[in-house]
Each structure stands twice: as structure tokens, then as C-alpha cells.
Chain A
Amino acid sequence: MGPINPMTLFFAAIFTNNILLTNFLGLCPFLSMSRYKKSALGMGAAVVFVMASTTALNNLVYYKVLVPLGLEHFRFIVFIVVIAAFVQLVEMTVERFFSPLYYVLGIFLPLITVNCAIFGASLFMVIRKYDFVQSLAYGAGSGIGWMLAIIVISAIREKLEKTAKLPRGLEGPAITLIITGLLSLAFLAFSGMIRVQ
């Protein structure tokens, strides 16, 4: 694979290879958090920040520590620990210095540790052999793509709740999945624009 321009990668991660809509990652928090726009926004912002930082951080850890030591097989454990430690650190910093922000983001941060999208971004980074700058661009792009999707869906859900009369069985997760499918279909329209694997 030739070197990809980080900028291209950034936009590809948002639109053509949206981590939620094409790779199904981060669906659990997505389904539970997309009820209201406000919580979707908070969760989205937290994901963007953590995903960009941890993907870049894991890139450093993988190529500077694990590969020289020949410990590639332990990357799953190491990545998880890095993510958990990073989230913990961010949580403490935010709580100490930016307490208003803490009330907005606070409850979302611990949830992020088990967000598959964050971990998934790090794994894709290894498989696709991104360098540091590419990982940063990829992480940030994926985070923004995730945020975009969750905000769109939450806006649709809020609107639906007010106006539409749904069959009772369809309420909640079922309709959310179907809307997500439609959104994913819409995002497929971007797929010819940039080819990045």
C-alpha cells in the first residue's frame, strides 16, 4: 500500500469508511445514547477526542515498544490498557480543572473504555500500517464520523418521537437500527469518491 495523504485519510474516515456505518463499531453506546441530541453531542465530543488521541498513542506504543520487543501478539491487552489509562487520566484532569465540562462529559468518559470503535480504530491502524500522522488523521476522522452519525440519528429519533405513530414493537432499538441502515445506505453514495482500504 502506497503512502496515503493524511488529509485524504481524514475525509475518507468521515465519509466513505465511516466506522459506525460501514464497520459496525461503537453500536452499543450508539443505540443507548442516541435518544436525545444533547447526550449524543456529549458522547460524540468525548469519542472524537479520545479516539484521535488513543489511535496516535497506540501507534507510538506499537511501533516503538511492541515491535522492537517482538510482542505483537500482546497488542490487544496493551491497547486496552493504554485506552483505559488514557480515559482515566482525561477524566481526572477534566474533573480537576474544567469542572463545568466534567458535568457534560463526565458520565460518558468511563463508557468510552469499552467502546469498540475506539479499540477498533487502533486495530485498523495496525492492520493498515498507518504511520503516526496518518493514525492521528484516521483517529480524528473516525471520531468525527461517529459523532456525525450519532447526532444525525438522535435528531431523527427526537423528531420521530414527537410526530410519528409507530407500531409498539418497532419503537426503540428496532426503528433505530432501520434508520441507521437507511443512513448507511445514504453514506454508500460517498463510496466512489475516495478509495482507501
Chain B
Amino acid sequence: MQPKKQIFLTGLWKDNPVLRQILGICSTLAVTNLMINTLVMDAGLIFTVCMSSLTVSLLRNVTPVRIRMMVQTLIIASYVIIVDIMIKAYLPDISEALGPYVALIITNCIIMGRCEAFARHNPPLSSFFDGLGMSLGYSLVLIAIAFVREPLGFGTLLGFRVLPEGFVHWTVMIMAPGAFFTLGIMVWILEHFRLQSGEEKG
């Protein structure tokens, strides 16, 4: 059994779900044009991944193998409903802005992937930390993308102006192509460094 800290760090960096596995970017890339939306979305995702990994793992001995996908989906969907209601109740403005994307956490491949690949075979606590590491790793990438998009697109960060008044906004950064470019370039840079360090080692 791997120590929990190592499980946590694997998800956070070594096997980072977005940069290394290119999983689950669908639902969340859309909200990265504003930092605040990204943070709310990330919080929802972290909660869902951790809790559903934990639940799947607790039920792993009683779930029949053939219907496990359905069971996992239902567990995930239940947690997402909780998140959705919470956001609607406490942050109505952001809920409006996020639209259907909160619900789309359900079909985020990462959650299902972690349940399938890890939580199904491991004890609850390890699964919880695996989920935590993976979702934090995922969130970091999204925050990094938002950190590029919001200042360039609106000249602000979390609503505060960070670039001078005369800065010409890059409208493209607010729209869809900006997200694709940012993520593409980010993956490229990291892949480049990974290949380089791999060559040095052996």
C-alpha cells in the first residue's frame, strides 16, 4: 500500500489529470474566463471527487461488478445535486453564470476515471486522498488558465483591476478560442520540460 502522502502527490503533479492524462477538461474549461467562477467550480469539483471516491470505495465490496458503472454514476450525480443546490442557495449570481456547467461535473471523466481506476480497489481513506490529490491538481491547472485569461481578457483579476486602464483587452481570451490556446500552450510547455528531464535521467 502506498503511503497516503505519495498517493496525494501523484495526483497533484506526477499524473496530473489535465496536463498528463488530458481528462475531464470538458465541463470546466468553459468557466475559466473569470477567476471567481473557476474557484467556485473547483470547490464543487473537489467536494464531488473526494466524496464520491470515498463512497465508491466504502461500497466496493457490495457493488456487483456488472452494474458498477451505473452505481458510480448515481453516487456522483447525487453529490453533484448537493453541490448544485448549495451554489444556488448561497451564490445565486455565480450559479446563474455557471449555468449548466455545474451539472456537467457528473460527466467529468476524472471522477469516473478515479472511481474506476482507484477507488474500486482501495480502502476508503486512500481513495479519499487520491481524489483530493487529483482534484486539486486539476483545480491548479484551471486556476492557472483563469489567471491568464481574466487579466488579458478583462484587465482584472477576481474583479480587481490589475492591468493599466489603457490596456487593450484581448477579446479573444474571453471567448472559446482563448481557452483552447491557453491550455494547448500550457500542455506544450510542460510536456517539453518533462521530455527534457526524462532525457537527462536516462
| Chain A residues with a Cβ under 8 A of chain B | 21-28, 31-32, 73-74, 76-77, 80-81, 84, 113-117, 119-120, 123-124, 126-127, 167-170, 172-178, 180-182, 184-185, 188
Contact = CB atoms under 8 A, between A and B. Distances in A.
A181 B177 contact: yes
A25 B107 CA distance: 10
Given A74-B81, A169-B192, A28 B177 contact: no
B36 interface: no
Interface string B56-83: 0000000000000110011001101100
Contacts, number: 134
Main secondary structure of the interface of A (DSSP, over half): helix
Nearest to B25: A27
A114 B109 CA distance: 7
24 contacts: A21-B176, A23-B176, A24-B25, A27-B25, A27-B29, A28-B23, A73-B81, A74-B81, A81-B74, A119-B106, A119-B107, A120-B104, A123-B100, A167-B192, A168-B191, A169-B188, A169-B189, A169-B192, A170-B192, A172-B191, A173-B22, A174-B184, A176-B184, A177-B184
Given A80-B74, A123-B100, 5 more contacts: A74-B81, A120-B107, A169-B194, A170-B192, A181-B180
Nearest to B180: A181
Contacts of A23: 30, 176
B172 interface: yes
B123 interface: no
Contacts of B184: 173-178, 180-181
Nearest to B189: A169
A174 B80 CA distance: 30
Contacts of A176: 184
Contacts of A184: 175-177, 180
Given A76-B77, A177-B183, A177-B184, A127 B177 contact: no
Nearest to B74: A77
Interface string B185-202: 101111111110000000
A80 B23 contact: no
A73 B100 contact: no
